[in-house]
A and B are shown apart, each in its own frame.
Chain A
Amino acid sequence: DAKTTQPTSMDCAEGRAANLPCNHSTISGNEYVYWYRQIHSQGPQYIIHGLKNNETNEMASLIITEDRKSSTLILPHATLRDTAVYYCIVRVARGTASKLTFGTGTRLQVTL
């Protein structure tokens, strides 16, 4: 699976959009981009995933560049409860070897 690079930490004011970047320059054609978050030692929580098109769900939006070498997770209106470590993961498509490889993630601190 491709390796990802994320900033160690970021701050965001409550109510503002939080934009979390991820570089995955060695991503291959059959690898998806996944985002998870982990709130204060709880189990990681799935947020969103995508292959090449931008995706949106009730939690967030995922913007993937045209060359797929980077992506951005957008929390449109961050709240204090969004304070967490966010992991960007790339992995092979479903139906094949199913392993999630986590890096160290980005610690997002949402402040008043």
Chain B
Amino acid sequence: NAGVTQTPKFQVLKTGQSMTLQCAQDMNHEYMSWYRQDPGMGLRLIHYSVGAGITDQGEVPNGYNVSRSTTEDFPLRLLSAAPSQTSVYFCASSSEREPRHLSYGYTFGSGTRLTVV
């Protein structure tokens, strides 16, 4: 089924380790983004991309890097994991150029639950 696929679903890291959270979509969406969600809080935007080769910072970008070499993939890299990065991470995509259609909204992945110890 078409959608946004995130891997892994769960991950435990030690402080200082690096890792990449993967996000892929097969809907040919131009826009992709990463959010983090902490207990009792809404989602906060980390980074986003409006197309291949274009990325920009969101609300909480520090400690994270992104790249967008293809339309389909938007990986999120943690350079040196810290306990403060323990969170659930959601990737989302959207087509900004389709006319009125359900996918005019954002499609979210099922999330990656990350724990940094």
Contact size range, B: 20 to 34
Expressed in whole angstroms, the Cα–Cα distance for A100 and B48 within the complex equals 10
A59 CB → nearest B CB, Å: 10
B94 / chain A contacts, CB cutoff of 8 Å:
98
| B28-72 to A contact mask, C-beta < 8 Å, 1/0 | 000101010000111111001010000000110000000000000
Question: A44-B106, A44-B108 are contacts. A100–B45 as well, Cβ < 8 Å?
Answer: yes
Residue B85 CB within 8 A of the other chain: no
Residue A30 CB within 8 A of the other chain: no
Expressed in whole angstroms, the Cα–Cα distance for A105 and B40 within the complex equals 10
Contact size range, A: 20 to 34
A98 / chain B contacts, CB cutoff of 8 Å:
31, 48, 50, 94, 96
Question: A100-B45, A105-B42 are contacts. A43–B111 as well, Cβ < 8 Å?
Answer: yes
| B74-92 to A contact mask, C-beta < 8 Å, 1/0 | 0000000000000010101
Question: A101-B45, A102-B44 are contacts. A49–B96 as well, Cβ < 8 Å?
Answer: no
Please state if B48 and A44 are interface contacts (CB–CB under 8 Å). Answer: no
Please state if A94 and B109 are interface contacts (CB–CB under 8 Å). Answer: no
- The closest CB in chain B to the CB of A98 belongs to B31
- The closest CB in chain A to the CB of B30 belongs to A98
A44 CB → nearest B CB, Å: 5
Within 8 Å by CB of A102, from B42, B48, B50, B107, lies B42
Expressed in whole angstroms, the Cα–Cα distance for A41 and B111 within the complex equals 8
- A55-90 CB contacts (< 8 Å) to partner B: 87
- The closest CB in chain A to the CB of B58 belongs to A99
- The closest CB in chain B to the CB of A47 belongs to B105
A102 / chain B contacts, CB cutoff of 8 Å:
35, 42-44
Question: A99-B58, A102-B42, A104-B42 are contacts. A43–B48 as well, Cβ < 8 Å?
Answer: no
Residues on A facing B (Cβ under 8 Å) = 34, 36, 41-47, 49, 87, 94-95, 98-105
